[in-house]
Amino acid sequence: MDACDIELLVEQYGASVYRYCRSITYTLEDAEDLYQQTFLKAFELHKRISFSKNPKAWLMSVAANIWRNHKSTYARHERIAPTISSEEEGVQIEDIRSENNVLEQMIKKEEINYLKKCVDRLPDKQKQVILLFYAGELSLQDIAKALKIPKGTVKSRLNKAKVQLRKEMEER
């Protein structure tokens, strides 16, 4: 695999990888950094990528590992020397085009934000599976390969996450 093959990977799977990166990170900047790091790592490890196997699952796995390493490094740094941020992160302003839909858009945005918070509160193993399934658009088999766990474990974690999310959304 060479640079042209990496370009092909970006064309074929770039949107899915970006959606996944956006779903597991907290800010747009983090998502963009993770996306770039994922494809840089793919370029570094280009000899390991096989188009006969599932390169999309492999890319998602690379992104998940990079983010997990980033989070653990960040947590370690925070224990040693906490940082104080004066900016509120993760806030996005959505264009509201029609006065008739303002209330509907606000309610929808509030529900989406609440769902994101609920997903963030899931245990990491469940959160990872639910994000790979919905944001990464991977099949259960591909998730199992990416995480190196049995397909039954993926199903179990996905089901537990869905039950928990449904419960929290209904209690709201």
Q: Which of 78-82, 87-91, 136-140 has the highest mean pLDDT?
A: 136-140
pLDDT at 51: 65
**Closest to 68 measured CA to CA, from 118, 138, 127:** 127
Work out the average pLDDT over 57-75: 83
Give pTM, 2 decimals.
0.57
pLDDT at 55: 84
pLDDT for residue 99 is more than 60: no
Angle at 70 between CA 55 and CA 153, to 5 degrees: 55
Residue reference for tokens 């990079």: 66
Residue reference for tokens 């996306």: 35
What residues have CB less than 8 Å from 140, skipping those under 6 apart? Answer: 133, 151, 154, 155, 158
Cβ distance 2 to 46 under 8 Å?
yes
Work out the average pLDDT over 123-139: 90
Cβ distance 133 to 65 under 8 Å?
no
> In sequence order, what DSSP letters do the residues of 22-35 get, joined into one string?
HHHSSSHHHHHHHH
Work out the average pLDDT over 98-106: 61
Cβ distance 16 to 137 under 8 Å?
yes
Using 50, 70 and 90 to split pLDDT, how confident is the model at 88? very low
pLDDT at 155: 95
Handedness of CA 139, 145, 151, 156 (dihedral sign): negative
